Amino acid sequence: MARLPYRIIKEIQHLLAEQVPVIKAEPDESNTYYFHVVIAGTFKLELFLAEEYPMAAPKVCFMTKIYHLNVDKLQRICLDILKDKWSPALQIQTVLLSIQAWLSVPNPDAPLANDVPEQWKTNKTQAIETARAWIRLYATNNI
């Protein structure tokens, strides 16, 4: 692998030195473009930086199965800053903080999951309960 760009080195140092209490992110030992992430001590994610980073957004995917309006069956995330609202001024930590906030505030205008949007629209209380049940089922002892 080529020498790691200075920007990524600085971001890794920042991530490790100033970790946010609810977010743990560490680069993989064998591939520093790949990060292991845990949010809220519950959800495992993977984050991968393209060689074009920071000109291209990171790819982020849940490893923990999650019931969320903006996550598809392959656990891919629909979040504007990972798509058309990406800016090279954003950093890994900014992305992770956005995902952490986004977890509790789904965006009904950008649904990815097939069945979740319908349940969200017709019975929001049941959708939230289903999400909680999935956390108990898939996330509780997953870390």
Q: Which residues are catalytic?
A: 78
**Which contiguous run of DSSP H or E holds residue 33?**
none
Rounded distance between C-alpha atoms, residue 102 and residue 22, angstroms: 14
Token pair in block for residue 72: 């598809």
Q: What are phi and psi of 99, to 5 degrees?
A: -65, -40
Can you tell me whether residue 2 is helix, strand or coil? coil
